Amino acid sequence: MNEQIKTAQDKMNKCLSALGREFDTIRAGRANPAILDKVQVDYYGTPTAVNAMAAISVSEARVLVIQPWDVSSLKNIEKAIQASDIGITPTNDGKCLRLAFPQPTEERRKELVKQVKAIGEEAKVTIRNARRDALDKLKAMKKNSEITEDDMKGFEKDLQKVTDKAVEEVDTAVAAKEKEIMTV
């Protein structure tokens, strides 16, 4: 496989893993510890991820329990969650925080599905950009007589197969997330 195709495939794989992480942070009504991945807590002057300073577990289908290893940081974690865009107010019992995920309304579910589809489209654009960049480099190589016309056609076919596979994976991920949101 050509180096340009390999580079494009690596970019597409990174895009797919970023898509998965992005989908994990979308609140679909179920308790999911990944929703706290983007929340940073001011811990002795240093921004620190919640999962680096507390044990996060799912106690029930809709309840996330955050137990800090240092109980004195409980208030800071609570403030960081309230300041984030999660949209859930934690309850503090002095030892741990509980995040109760409400059942999303039908309207909210439809909004989330639109958001998921938009994120999926962004991922497809990124994948197509990776394909375009690789094609441009291949055309430059052909122009400089580094590869032949036949090689170029073969590389284009290979690149298209890689692109189609990545786009198909995005569609599958979007459909799975959409199903998860609508069946909560």
Encode pLDDT of 103-159 as tens digits.
878 888 888 899 999 999 999 999 999 999 999 998 888 888 888 888 888 889 999
CA distance 144 to 134: 15
**Residue 48 backbone phi and psi in degrees, to 5:** -130, 140
Encode pLDDT of 9-58 as tens digits.
999 999 999 998 888 777 666 777 878 888 888 888 888 888 888 888 88
When pLDDT is cut at 50, 70 and 90, the band that residue 1 belongs to is low
Q: Burial, 45: exposed, middle or buried (Cβ in 10 Å; 0-12, 13-18, 19+)?
A: exposed
The fold for domain 33-100 equals Gyrase A; domain 2 (3.30.1360)
Domain ranges of the chain: 3-24+105-182, 33-100
- Look at residue 70 in the predicted model and tell me its pLDDT: 86
Half-sphere exposure in the Cβ direction for 78 (13 Å, CA): 15
Q: Is the pLDDT of residue 184 over 70?
A: no
Find out if CATH 3.40.220.10 is the number for domain 3-24+105-182. Answer: no
